[in-house]
Structure 1
Amino acid sequence: MIGEVLEQEKIYVIKIGGSILDCDESLKAFAKQIQQLHSSGVFVVIIHGGGNDISHMLKRLGIESKFEKGLRITDSQTIEVVEMVLSGKNNKRIVSELQLKKLSAVGICGKDHNLIQCKKKASDGQDLGFVGEICSIDTSIIRLLLSNNIVPIISPIGADETGLSYNINADTAASAIASSLKARKLIYITDVDGIYMDFKNKKSVIPSITPAYGNFLINDGIVSEGMIPKVKNCINALYTGIESVHIINGTIKNILEQLELNLPVGTTFYPITNSAKTPTSISGR
């Protein structure tokens, strides 16, 4: 019954990272925007990262940060710090800010109620340690919170079948959770204006992308490095029935309000059947 009611309403899954968490004022402004969305009848689910805070804590503890193809190599020492920072410090900062805006918020991680079941991520050559690959999502705890008008704040720490903790890419976790919830929108809040045709030209933001065009951008090398998994997650979410996926700049004032008013902000991914028009960037290709 809970699921049936929520599926008829607006569920937005919002992923935030350093553009919000690295600045107290940005977090306060974000919390205010969530309050406005919530008061308009939107059910909001927040998934967060926190890579910079993890790196800072590791440095304080004398542990070197190592990466392989954009993924943090997470040994037994590092996973303890990752879990402490994400599920502890960062998660509760967000909860506190939302509650200061008179919202009910509960912080959980992927281990709670078996929300994110995972396994060790396979890799070519380099052992990534406790980096997880999602096996299954159980959103019943999220639905329970939403049905009680509570905003879930989720850190992307999953567990395998033996209970071991794994660090999950927050973008991937957000896409998987949004898909399982059948959310209306998946929103990635970043520190860039969207997907660029030419990253050096900040006016070259691509306003709308279909799955086919997204794959073209990857294969043609226009989207590269850290943006590749984000674009793939956007495309995968569309295939599960999400109406639209957005990449927007969290440093822009009232960006979520602008998005809700259908103003042209960031890059929007649409299924081809939902796209109002073919992106102008495709013309002639």
Structure 2
Amino acid sequence: MNDDTDGKNEKPRLRAVDGGLADQEARQARARILSEALPYMRRFADQTFVIKYGGHAMGSEELADDFARDVVLLKQVGVNPVVVHGGGPQIGAMLDRLKVQSSFVDGLRVTDAATVEIVEMVLAGSINKQVVTAINRAGGTAIGISGKDGNLIEARKLRRTVKDPGSNIEKILDLGFVGEPSHVNPAVLDALRATKVIPVIAPIGVGEHGETYNINADTAAGAIAGALGATKLIMLTDVPGVLDKSGQLIPSMTQKEALVSLGDGTISGGMIPKLETCLSALRAGVKAAHILDGRVPHVLLLEVFTEQGVGTMIGATRPPAAS
């Protein structure tokens, strides 16, 4: 009877093992991935990652679900993820629906009193709650806040100058209620750190007299990362990372190399402010900054838990080559 019982118990297992070479290889691949990830899980336990979430990754339901699962996994293995989200396209769509005219200067939306109300409604309302819901649906516990909650982001009016091509005289542009962080008060985030809660932050700041300011999400994420002394600032973009003059990905850069690239014209367009934000965060004490392609499924896990990583990492020194 014992032999019959043992045989019955073993048959299903043997059939599973004989399920095919492809099935075995797939399971072995999963085991290798877990084995490779384990040292990084240990290394980053109890470390804070500030993740700027935006671009096309927010516009795809499938990528949004991948992002939510990745953030939940980070929390479950002991990382403290803090999400800062953007929402430019969604704001533009709402302004169009309401027939509110808006314009841009150097990539920044000129924001009058009427527009900033809509910006706050979209960022701190619908978008914030969509991200929170996705993370909760993936098994996490997310809470949505804006930079106004707990005076998290104190802001001042952002001023830009432009040089008149004819007279060569600089004039100050009035961007309305577009702001930049003047001070970050991380107390509310510090209070959440030891809990299971994942904070999701809308980049809205509060001025000295209680006025609302629209803040670029990259800038907000960098300021928050610096204030928290984060281990990593991770910025999800719509490009593979920082590219050289021939269009090839630069896997890693030192701060000095990044400054040289900004000065010699290697970096151009929208990558300039992103790289400047990374450098500002590093100067504030962040250990490393990453610029990743948010269109790649599970890009967070690929960067954090694999040896080669993806995208571009900027740090004080160049990481050692893989052996």
Instruction: Quote the Cα distance in structure 1 between the aligned partners of 2:135 and 2:103.
Output: 33
The DSSP-based 3-state class of the residue aligned with 1:161 is coil
The answer to whether residue 234 in structure 2 is matched with residue 197 in structure 1 is no
Higher helix share: 2
State the one-letter code of the partner of 1:157.
I
| Residue among 314, 319, 323 paired with 1:269 | 314
The answer to whether residue 262 in structure 2 is matched with residue 218 in structure 1 is yes
The structure 1 segments of at least 4 consecutive aligned residues displaced by more than 6 Å after TM superposition are none
| Residue among 158, 178, 183 paired with 1:121 | 158
Instruction: Quote the Cα distance in structure 1 between the aligned partners of 2:309 and 2:256.
Output: 21
Contact 2:52 2:218 in 1 (8 A): yes
Residue in structure 2 matched with residue 252 of structure 1 by the alignment = 296
Instruction: Quote the Cα distance in structure 2 between the aligned partners of 1:143 and 1:19.
Output: 30
Could you list the per-position Cα deviations for residues 72-92 of structure 1 after superposition, in whole angstroms to 9, with x for gaps in the alignment?
111111101110110001000
Contact 1:19 1:189 in 2 (8 A): no
The answer to whether residue 285 in structure 2 is matched with residue 241 in structure 1 is yes
Instruction: Quote the Cα distance in structure 2 between the aligned partners of 1:168 and 1:214.
Output: 24
Instruction: Quote the Cα distance in structure 2 between the aligned partners of 1:99 and 1:119.
Output: 33
The answer to whether residue 138 in structure 2 is matched with residue 91 in structure 1 is no
Map 1:47-66 → 2, pairs under 5 A: 47-66=84-103
State the one-letter code of the partner of 2:253.
I
Contact 2:45 2:77 in 1 (8 A): no
Contact 1:239 1:271 in 2 (8 A): no
Instruction: Quote the Cα distance in structure 2 between the aligned partners of 1:259 and 1:224.
Output: 24
Contact 1:38 1:44 in 2 (8 A): yes
Shift of 1:21: 1.4
Shift of 1:192: 0.8
Contact 2:253 2:315 in 1 (8 A): yes
Instruction: Quote the Cα distance in structure 1 between the aligned partners of 2:173 and 2:115.
Output: 16
Work out the percentage of aligned pairs sharing the same amino acid: 40
The DSSP-based 3-state class of the residue aligned with 1:126 is strand
Contact 1:34 1:44 in 2 (8 A): yes
Provide the aligned C-alpha RMSD in A.
1.5
Highest Rg: 1 or 2?
2
The answer to whether residue 192 in structure 2 is matched with residue 148 in structure 1 is no
Aligned residues: 267
The DSSP-based 3-state class of the residue aligned with 1:248 is strand
The DSSP-based 3-state class of the residue aligned with 1:130 is strand
State the one-letter code of the partner of 2:190.
R
Instruction: Quote the Cα distance in structure 2 between the aligned partners of 1:225 and 1:133.
Output: 20
TM-score by length of 1: 0.90
Residue in structure 1 matched with residue 272 of structure 2 by the alignment = 228
| Residue among 198, 201, 222 paired with 1:175 | 222
**Runs (5+) with no aligned partner, structure 1:** 1-6, 278-285
Residue in structure 2 matched with residue 134 of structure 1 by the alignment = 181
Contact 1:137 1:180 in 2 (8 A): yes
The DSSP-based 3-state class of the residue aligned with 2:159 is coil
